[in-house]
């Protein structure tokens, strides 16, 4: 069992706040993703769990034991870094074996444990190679094998795919997903890539400037974002956000009119996903000239400009038109989200 409790964790450097009042329980065997832009505090949170940073305030508990004052080596966590951090003078076998030597594991068990870890990440044909002779994807798999070889309570992964090209990211992401399922270990994964978060996580923690914005399953985060920051950060493309006015249940903005909404009168921000709208022949809720067209293969992305904001809708891949042509877009009221204009917080449910 490896339940992790973060009780009102804070990290400050003088007047600079890195993480503010982070309070969360991470269940045993859960795959939790910390998601947010650079500087949001996600890596700092992970480093405090690992013991590489001291928490300014709050408590960190692993299996009910407070670990704030324990050295990293005594917390029984394994960390996979963005930079791989392999020993260049050692071959793959020795790199994977190294944690067993450092922790004094019986040498009679080393070969079996190394081979098991290498097989899990498909490295058995590369055990004699030095890191310099490996591709980026192979090096990352060595780092993964080195983390799993000693069977720690907790895996910590700090943007492990960010140095890989797009194709390798997809295949290695699948490997990490499969590994987490097989190992059934508690995993905390840091990334700024929302696709990684959506595909890997049991739960996602979205962070901004050291503050947790929302915690939930990928579906919850995607379908019911807590505020405009989460709405704009999750999704490809991000949720469309349009500033306008609500009067008697009708939202209005330049070239936009959507009736039947439940929300207060006054200034609000309307949100909807590109896939939740469609191109109509006429009579749609949005009517404007086409700003740009993008053929995606399985669909055509049609964008129009509403005020100073771009609004995107996914049309059929056979849709054809020209920039500047008028287009009518249907947005069903049940797919609309409303946010407070000042705070960005979600309005009602």
pLDDT digit string, tens, across residues 175-190: 888 888 888 889 999 9
pLDDT surpassing 90 at residue 53: yes
Q: How many residues does the chain have?
A: 349
CB 3 within 8 A of CB 28: yes
Q: Which fold has domain 238-340?
A: OB fold (Dihydrolipoamide Acetyltransferase, E2P) (2.40.50)
Which CATH architecture describes the domain 4-228?
Answer: 3-Layer(aba) Sandwich (3.40)
Q: State residue 205's pLDDT score.
A: 97
Q: How far apart are CA 231 and CA 240, in angstroms?
A: 8
CATH 3.40.50.300 maps onto the chain at 4-228
Confidence of residue 127 (pLDDT cuts 50, 70, 90): very high
Per residue in 311-344, pLDDT tens?
999 999 999 999 999 999 999 999 999 999 999 9
For the chain, where do the domains classified as CATH 2.40.50.140 start and end?
A: 238-340
Could you identify the residue written with the tokens 């917080």? 345
pLDDT at 1: 60
DSSP 152: -
- Percentage of the chain exceeding pLDDT 90: 71
Please check the confidence at residue 166 and state whether its pLDDT lies above 80. no
Residue 104 has pLDDT above 90, yes or no: no
Beta bridge partners of 345: 227
- CA dist 136 and 21 (Å) reads 37
C-alpha span between 204 and 41 (Å, rounded): 14
Comparing 16-30, 179-193, 289-303, the range with the smallest average pLDDT is 179-193
Under the phi-then-psi rule, with left for phi > 0, alpha for psi from -120 to 50, and beta for the rest, what region is 219? Answer: alpha
Exposure string (b/e) for 59-87, b if CB count within 10 Å is 16 or more?
ebebeeeebeeeeeeebbbbbbebebebe
Which token pair is 285? 């809720």
- Report the pLDDT averaged over residues 223-234: 95
| pTM beyond cutoff 0.75 | yes
Q: Report helix angle 136-148 to 166-183, nearest 10.
A: 10
| Cβ-proximal residues to 107 (8 Å cutoff; 6+ apart), any chain | none
Judged by DSSP in three states, 120 sits in: helix
- Give the CA diameter of the chain: 76
**338 in Cβ contact with 347 (< 8 Å):** yes
């Amino acid at each position: 069992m490896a339940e992790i409790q973060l009780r009102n964790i804070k990290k400050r450097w003088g007047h600079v706040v890195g993480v503010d009042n982070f309070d969360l329980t991470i269940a045993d065997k859960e795959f939790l993703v910390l998601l947010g832009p650079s500087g949001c505090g996600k890596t700092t949170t992970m480093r405090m769990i690992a013991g590489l940073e001291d928490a300014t305030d709050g408590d960190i508990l692993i299996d009910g034991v407070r670990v704030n004052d324990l050295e990293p080596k005594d917390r029984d966590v394994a960390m996979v870094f963005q930079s791989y951090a392999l020993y260049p003078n050692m071959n793959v076998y020795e790199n994977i074996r190294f944690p067993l030597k450092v922790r004094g594991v019986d040498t009679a068990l080393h070969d079996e444990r190394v081979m098991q870890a290498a097989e899990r990440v498909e490295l058995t044909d590369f055990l004699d190679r030095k890191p310099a002779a490996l591709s980026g994807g192979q090096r990352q798999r060595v780092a993964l094998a080195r983390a799993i070889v000693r069977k720690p309570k907790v895996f910590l992964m700090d943007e492990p795919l960010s140095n890989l090209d797009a194709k390798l990211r997809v295949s290695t992401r699948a490997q990490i997903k499969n590994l987490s399922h097989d190992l059934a270990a508690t995993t905390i994964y840091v990334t700024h890539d929302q696709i990684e978060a959506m595909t890997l996580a049991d739960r996602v923690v979205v962070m901004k400037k050291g503050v947790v914005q929302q915690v939930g399953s990928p579906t919850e985060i995607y379908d019911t974002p807590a505020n405009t920051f989460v709405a704009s950060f999750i999704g490809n493309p991000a949720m469309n956000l349009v500033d306008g006015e609500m009067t008697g249940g009708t939202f209005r903005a330049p070239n936009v009119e959507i009736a039947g909404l439940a929300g207060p009168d006054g200034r609000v921000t309307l949100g909807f996903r590109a896939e939740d709208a469609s191109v109509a022949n006429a009579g749609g809720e949005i009517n404007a000239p086409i700003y740009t067209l993008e053929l995606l293969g399985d669909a055509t992305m049609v964008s129009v400009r509403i005020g100073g904001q771009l609004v995107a809708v996914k049309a059929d891949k056979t849709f054809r038109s020209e920039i500047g042509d008028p287009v009518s877009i249907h947005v069903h009221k049940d797919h609309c989200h409303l946010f407070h204009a000042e705070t960005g917080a979600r309005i009602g449910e």
